[in-house]
Amino acid sequence: MAVKKKEVEVNLLEAIQQFCADKSLDREAVMGVIRDSLITAYKKKSGIETLEEEENPIKVEFASSGDGENVVIVVSRKVVDSSPKNGLEISLEDAKAVYPNAAEGEVLDFKEKPMELSRIISSQAKQMVFQRLRDMEKELLYQEYKAKEGELTHGYFQRWKKDAMSIDLGKVEGVMPKREQNPGEKYHSGDRLKAIIQKVELRPREPIPVITLSRASADFVRKLFEMEIPEIYDGLVEIVNVARQPSIRTKVVVYATRGDIDPVGACVGMKGVRIQSIVRELGNERIDIVQYSSDPTEFIANAISPAKPYDVKADSVGREAMVIVPEEQLSLAIGINGSNVKLASQLTGFRIDIKTIAQYNEEFSSPEARERLDKLFSPPAAVAEEEDDGATALEDLPGLSTRLIGLLRSAGINNVETLIEISQDDLAKLPGIGQTTAAQILRILAESVEWVEES
């Protein structure tokens, strides 16, 4: 039994070093973990757990020898003539066995090997080492993948865990819950797939970080466009917003930062070659490229594609719109299970009512009905003048681009006074404005507007 025990202990460092290489852990950090764990175990064995760190006379050395690298515990002990009180003292007789000239009162260094610790203490030290190494690996993986949150990644389908997919990402496995899967897609073990790293989190009972992947999110489509469309990657075309119903339809709003670029044409590509690669990746999901406009009626008309509306009436204050289409365009405007009009509503921020020309003429045939309609979608001039009386135009804010002004106006924000009252979180929720753009708008406000406190 003694021989077996020695063999296990001698291989301790070798196993740790192999673990370090396999997991790509920093060697010096790992050695520090081993040192701390062995010192803690030795203190426990010697009954000196309460010893302060600055008073610590225990060191761990890694000494190279012909047989490889050995771990040695070095303890400074005081030589006493009586029985030792704890592990920091040694009897004169035992000291002379190592140092023949040892004298009472001297403090000498004595070396021990980890295998000379008791079996229980040695086992605890190994468990402590491996646990701390696992914690270190978990933290490093977390930091690595947390930095990739929101990025596109590749993986290989491994297996099903109930309704969730297990995806091999190389160093770790990611999980794709049912809600983040593209409905209708089927995979076999080893199939390669793309997904977005949606969330990375640490959970106490999980040995590795939990990495949630998604193929159903709008951000997944956004990243595919950034990867496939050079103009988007270079910033010549911007994605204003994305609305998606996975496996059915996606609408992407684009805007060109230069007047000589057609944003829709850039995304579609010659003979549709660019958009087709994205469509194939999404399992032939329908994709509509929508050109952004600061004019709500034009924007809604673009968003309702592939239907071609006869007329659009929009109320920017009440955020309601009526889209009038020819009879043969009705099903296109509504879409499968209402998907087209729902996505158009999400993109524009307007509640959209679809009517055919015949329905519109029948419902609003009388002059009174037409007058009510005009009042609904055209606020009285007096009210508009009252709202704008003395107000500062958005154009007066230096640094606020035409595109941002259009986004704010389409959301019913027509002057600086109204903009001041809106928080960053509420701004970020408006169509086409995220947290970054909201912060930019508030920064422009802070630099341009003089704040006066009322007494």
Per-domain boundaries in the chain: 12-47+55-133, 150-216, 219-377, 402-448
Class of 12-47+55-133 per CATH? alpha beta
Phi, psi for 361 (deg, rounded to 5)? -65, -35
**pTM for the structure as a whole:** 0.65
Spatial distance between the Cα atoms of 408 and 1, rounded to a whole number of angstroms: 79
For residues 197 and 148, the answer to whether their CB atoms sit within 8 Å is yes
Comparing 12-47+55-133 with 219-377, is the CATH topology the same?
A: no
State the pLDDT at residue 257: 84
Identify which of 330, 329, 299 has the alpha carbon closest to the alpha carbon of residue 312.
Answer: 299
CA distance 393 to 221: 36
The pLDDT of residue 69: 52
Q: Convert the pLDDT of each residue in 314-367 to its tens digit.
A: 888 788 888 989 999 899 999 988 899 999 999 888 899 998 888 888 877 667
Please, what is the angle between helix 12-23 and helix 119-146, to 10°? Answer: 10
The domain 219-377: what is its CATH number?
Answer: 3.30.300.20
Which has more pLDDT, 407 or 297?
A: 297
pLDDT above 80 (res 31): no
pLDDT at residue 19 tops 70: no
Cα 290 to chain centroid, rounded: 26
Residue pair 10/71 in contact (Cβ under 8 Å)? The answer is no
**What tokens does 121 get?**
């203490």
Rounded to whole angstroms, how far apart are CA atoms 238 and 432?
Answer: 10
Per residue in 352-365, pLDDT (tens digit) is 999 888 888 887 76
- Name the maximum alpha-carbon separation found in the chain: 120
Q: How far is CA 329 from CA 197, 253, 347, 355, 415, in A?
A: 39, 21, 20, 10, 37
| pLDDT at site 52 | 63
For 227, phi and psi rounded to 5 degrees?
-80, -35
Give CATH superfamily name and number for 150-216: Nucleic acid-binding proteins (2.40.50.140)
Q: What CA–CA distances, in Å, run from 434 to 147, 239, 294, 439?
A: 20, 11, 17, 9
Question: 214 — phi, psi (to 5°)?
Answer: -145, 140
What single-letter DSSP state applies at residue 391?
A: P
Residue 252: per-residue pLDDT:
94
pLDDT at 7: 43
pLDDT at 10 over 60: no
DSSP state letters, 355-372? EEHHHHHHHT-SHHHHHH
> Average pLDDT for residues 144-154, to the nearest whole number?
91
Taking the CA of residue 184 as centre, how many other CA atoms within 13 Å lie in the half-sphere pointing to its CB?
Answer: 9
Among the residue ranges 215-224, 253-262, 394-403, 411-420, the one predicted with the least confidence is 394-403
Q: What percent of the chain is modeled with pLDDT above 70?
A: 81
Query: Would the pLDDT of 66 be above 90?
Result: no
What is the pLDDT confidence band of residue 250, given thresholds at 50, 70 and 90? very high
Name the more confident of 436 and 13.
Answer: 436
Distance CA 162, CA 172 (A): 19
Residue 442 exposure: Cα atoms within 13 Å on the Cβ side? 15
Highest mean pLDDT among 22-26, 77-81, 188-192: 188-192
Is it the case that residue 65 has pLDDT exceeding 60? Answer: no
In 281-428, the DSSP E strands lie at 286-291, 311-315, 320-325, 351-356
More confident residue, 179 or 2: 179
List, for residues 167-193, the tens digit of each pLDDT value.
Answer: 999 888 999 999 999 888 888 889 999
Task: Please report the pLDDT score of residue 320 as a whole number.
Answer: 87
Question: Using one digit for the tens of pLDDT, what is the confidence trace for 42-56?
Answer: 777 776 766 665 566
Summarize the confidence of residues 293-321 as an average pLDDT: 88
pLDDT band at 4 (very low <50, low <70, confident <90, very high): very low
Q: Helices (DSSP H) in 61-166: which residue ranges?
A: 92-98, 119-146
